[in-house]
Structure 1
Amino acid sequence: MSVTHLPNTHYTGLVLDQKKQLLGEGFDWLANLRKQAAEQFSASGFPTFREEEWRYTNITPIEKNQFTLPDVAGQVDSAFVDSVLLDDCHHIVFVDGFYQAELSSLKDIPNGVIVSALSDGLVDNEALIKSLLDSVVETPALGFINFNTALFSDGALICIEENTVVDKPIQVAFISSKQGALTLSNTRNLILAQASSKAQIIETYHAVDDSCYLTNVVSEVVVEPNANLSHHRLQSESTSAYHIGGVYSRLEKNAIFNQNSYTFGASISRTEAHATLGEASDCTMDGLYVGQDRQHMDQHTRLNHAQPHAVSNEFYKGILGDHSTGVFQGRIIVAQDAQKTDAAMNNRNLLLSDRAEVDTKPQLEIYADDVKCAHGVTVGQLDDAAVFYLQSRGVDNQTAKNMLTFAFANEMIERVSFEPLRMALLANLLKRFPQAGMKKEWL
């Protein structure tokens, strides 16, 4: 017998509340888009674990907590901001979903590059925002995207103009302040790499304290012909918080897109990475998720090979300890006309506890006959023989296990060429596994 899901009245009330002054309220096209999303959300609500795409992740705690939108950003100590901003980057900073000009560093943005908050971009670049917003995501039956469209407070607009090479990475930093308890941060990022451009973008998510709050963020990415874009996403939220986020991209002919996801924080998190590949485009998706205590981490990917001669490589690793749970759902779709597709998917998981759990579900949907597609999955624990070998060389049992665990993670860390980001990832690993004897030098 099917069960009808009734939308949560608290959240439908939020999206239908006409008293809330939202970003871009004076723009008719945006008001209509928000209204349509609000109506779709009020009809369907959030997804439930009864839906196949969400069967491993129960978001009931999010509905029960009844998060609300803050009116303004909270205060954040400048020392904390400095600790999460990466060296040698351009920075744009948001606190509780609101742009903070005084914490950002955009004065030295080179010519041919637009980096601004949507709140400013609607004045200076309305046509660009209108062309990008809701152009990549698939909104039907995706409750959190409709929820985001209806209520986003701000976000980043990044445009790399044609034939432009950006001198250093652009960091988009999202911070939850001390007022974060039961607040909702709803943000939207729009990223465009125009033809033959090259850039690197880093999204980071941090919290001042261990508050319970909800982050819901959507990033839409368009990579035009012959452009080369790298996108890194570091999620290091409060372990009492909830994080729902996604990167939705469209690659045009001969485009190159590298999307890398690193998940460390949040009590319940869901990270989506969806890409539609044009002719002869190249997409790489790497991911690392590290859980402990009772964290739940859901990684959901979809690669849609829509045109011929495209190449995709996907490699995700998970480390799960204590009572934590991990999910990897990877899906590769090869359209009928996408001949000469070359696609590979690999997911490897390391369980550090008998109580840890991972659900992994790789999928291939192939409608063309001249393709090369493969996928592989492994789930296991530390090799007793390897532990014994290290102990025979004078290493104690716990340190031997730590060394093997970090060696497992190191394969993903080594792929990061930008040193400040690589060091930030190492710091997060050490923070999640602070056993005695652990050293950065191992990585």
Structure 2
Amino acid sequence: MTSAVASNLLSDLLSGPRPAEWEKLREEAEARLARRDLPTTSDEDWKYTDLKALAGITFGPAPKATVDISGHLLPEMVGTRQVFVNGHHAPHASCASAVAAGVRFLPLSTASEACHALGMVGPTHNQSPFEDLNTARFEDGAVLLVPKNMKVALPLHLLFITKAETPIAVFPRLMVVLERGAELELVEEHHGKGTYLTCPVVEIRLAEGAILHHERVQRDSDEAFHLGTLKAEVAKGGQYHSRTLSFGARLSRQQPWVRLAEGAEATLDGLALLDGAQVADTHSFMLHAEPHASSHQLHKCIVDGHARAIFNGQVLVAPKAQGTDAKQQSRNLLLSETARVDTKPQLEIYADDVKCSHGATVGALDPEELFYLQSRGLNADDARNLLTYGFAADVLTHIPVASLRRTLRQLVMARTQAASLGDFA
């Protein structure tokens, strides 16, 4: 995609109606966008992810719509959900009757006390233009505020659903604030039908000792473009544990950025299942800013057909971050000769007393393991499918919400054609 085409696309996306709220924040985002174009493969961070497919599509504004969410309900969270359709809050589909007293889980448009915190997480320089697009054009979003020392018993469910009769652009927004000692499980899901561009932005602030378990599921339409940003700041002794599972979208990109204070912990695990001509890109940044923090990243991709996976994971250990413990692994399974993976784990260390490691593997199924399973009675296809499922299964094992874990297990079994194996899988 040329610079001129990128500029035209950016202009088109900014030409829609501009919501009146948060005026200063929007002006700053538009000013940053005015100084840059959308990225091309000439940009180092985008060299493997070509956005030219966006250039041939005109994305209009997203209208309000209604949807049937019965297929998305999870038993543990029937009364703890907020739903947004095409970027607009959907009261008809939301139900917060079981949300614990004191927890604020509501649309951003009705949470004036949270407005001052928007855009305050992470750096604003050199950020993704799609984050700025979101800030300039989001209609509404979700706010989640948990008070001091509250351990929320029931997980909360956030559904972003896109219904596109014609190509549209949507800009989901989420802000999560946990006060000191608070604890929460959050499930964030993205679903859709049709051709659309979605640019979600998630901002997370965890105060001292707060703990957030965050499950993120991307099941967008096969014709969708998902370009997301997540920023999290974890204060002293806090914990942020995240799993991102990517199944849908023609092209998806996740950009998690996490800053760890003294003694903080973070987990950034991911699983992507790709086939056809799908592209999934993860560019993560883990900043160990202060001493004795720990982080763990396990990112897995199963790539079939002509699909392509990209992983670039950067861990930066600041000079005063002595005692850092950081581990990063990128593991990738290729199921066809035309599948492709580009992986680049990175460590940038400016402290002396640290334990840091990283590694990457890219390969096909192990012939010896296939032979062993066939010697135990499985045919060649079933052996292949069982090993493929097993490669993905350990990421799913740690999902704390049982019904979500079962749903995703069934989805992975179906995608890996392992469903017929019953107890073997």
For the superposition of Structure 1 and Structure 2, which TM-score range results when normalised by the shorter chain? Answer: over 0.9
Equivalent residue letter for 2:175: L
Q: In structure 2, what is the Cα distance between the partners aligned to 1:389 and 1:278?
A: 47
Contact 1:403 1:438 in 2 (8 A): no
1:190 aligns with 2:181: no
Which residue in 1 is equivalent to 2:420? Answer: 438
Q: Secondary structure at the match of 1:199?
A: strand
Aligned pairs for 1:361-440 within 5 A: 361-434=344-417, 438-439=420-421
Contact 1:161 1:197 in 2 (8 A): yes
Contact 2:121 2:232 in 1 (8 A): no
Return the match for 1:108 from 90, 98, 115: 98
Q: Secondary structure at the match of 2:403?
A: helix
Report the CA distance shift for 1:440/1:167 in structure 2 as closer, same or farther (over 3 A): farther
250-259 or 54-63, which moves further after superposition? Answer: 54-63
Which residue in 2 is equivalent to 1:140? Answer: 126
Return the match for 1:151 from 129, 137, 140: 137
Which residue in 2 is equivalent to 1:162? Answer: 148
1:227 aligns with 2:210: yes
Contact 1:110 1:166 in 2 (8 A): yes
Contact 1:292 1:432 in 2 (8 A): no
**Superposed displacement of residue 320, structure 1:** 0.6
Which residue in 2 is equivalent to 1:74? Answer: 65
Q: Deviations for 1:328-357, whole angstroms, at most 9, x for unmatched residues?
A: 110000001111111110111111111111
Q: In structure 2, what is the Cα distance between the partners aligned to 1:160 and 1:442?
A: 41
Q: Secondary structure at the match of 1:148?
A: helix
Contact 2:232 2:259 in 1 (8 A): yes
Contact 1:351 1:380 in 2 (8 A): yes
Equivalent residue letter for 2:47: R
Return the match for 1:57 from 46, 49, 59: 49
Report the CA distance shift for 1:323/1:112 in structure 2 as closer, same or farther (over 3 A): same
Unaligned runs of 5+ in 2: none
Q: In structure 1, what is the Cα distance between the partners aligned to 2:3 and 2:304?
A: 35
Q: Secondary structure at the match of 2:186?
A: strand
1:84 aligns with 2:72: yes
Aligned pairs for 1:199-238 within 5 A: 199-207=184-192, 209=193, 211-238=194-221
Report the CA distance shift for 1:390/1:294 in structure 2 as closer, same or farther (over 3 A): same
Q: Deviations for 1:126-173, whole angstroms, at most 9, x for unmatched residues?
A: xx2212434335353521111111011211100111111111111110
Q: In structure 2, what is the Cα distance between the partners aligned to 1:91 and 1:266?
A: 24
Q: In structure 2, what is the Cα distance between the partners aligned to 1:356 and 1:426?
A: 23
Q: Deviations for 1:209-258, whole angstroms, at most 9, x for unmatched residues?
A: 4x211111010001110111111100011111111112210011110110
- Structure 2 length-normalised TM: 0.95
Contact 1:11 1:66 in 2 (8 A): no
Equivalent residue letter for 1:192: V
415-424 or 223-232, which moves further after superposition? Answer: 415-424
Contact 1:137 1:248 in 2 (8 A): no
Q: Deviations for 1:243-300, whole angstroms, at most 9, x for unmatched residues?
A: 1112210011110110111011001000121100001101111111110111101111
Report the CA distance shift for 1:433/1:178 in structure 2 as closer, same or farther (over 3 A): farther
1:305 aligns with 2:277: no
Contact 2:236 2:263 in 1 (8 A): yes
Q: Deviations for 1:79-138, whole angstroms, at most 9, x for unmatched residues?
A: xx111122211110011111101101112221221001112223xx2xx22124343353
Which residue in 2 is equivalent to 1:42? Answer: 34
Q: In structure 2, what is the Cα distance between the partners aligned to 1:110 and 1:293?
A: 43
Q: Secondary structure at the match of 2:35?
A: helix
- Structure 1 length-normalised TM: 0.91
Contact 2:311 2:343 in 1 (8 A): yes
Q: In structure 2, what is the Cα distance between the partners aligned to 1:137 and 1:239?
A: 32
**Superposed displacement of residue 5, structure 1:** 6.3
Q: In structure 1, what is the Cα distance between the partners aligned to 2:85 and 2:413?
A: 26
Return the match for 1:31 from 3, 9, 23: 23
Return the match for 2:234 from 222, 234, 251: 251
What number of residue pairs does the alignment pair up?
422
Q: In structure 1, what is the Cα distance between the partners aligned to 2:122 and 2:421?
A: 42
1:96 aligns with 2:86: yes
Contact 1:342 1:373 in 2 (8 A): yes
1:295 aligns with 2:295: no
1:278 aligns with 2:236: no
Equivalent residue letter for 1:117: P
Report the CA distance shift for 1:8/1:438 in structure 2 as closer, same or farther (over 3 A): farther
Q: In structure 2, what is the Cα distance between the partners aligned to 1:57 and 1:133?
A: 26
Contact 2:290 2:321 in 1 (8 A): yes
Report the CA distance shift for 1:442/1:119 in structure 2 as closer, same or farther (over 3 A): farther
**Superposed displacement of residue 359, structure 1:** 0.3
Aligned pairs for 1:315-330 within 5 A: 315-330=298-313
Percent sequence identity over matched residues?
A: 32
Q: Secondary structure at the match of 1:46?
A: coil
Contact 1:299 1:328 in 2 (8 A): yes
Two-structure CA RMSD over aligned residues (Å): 1.8
**Superposed displacement of residue 322, structure 1:** 1.0
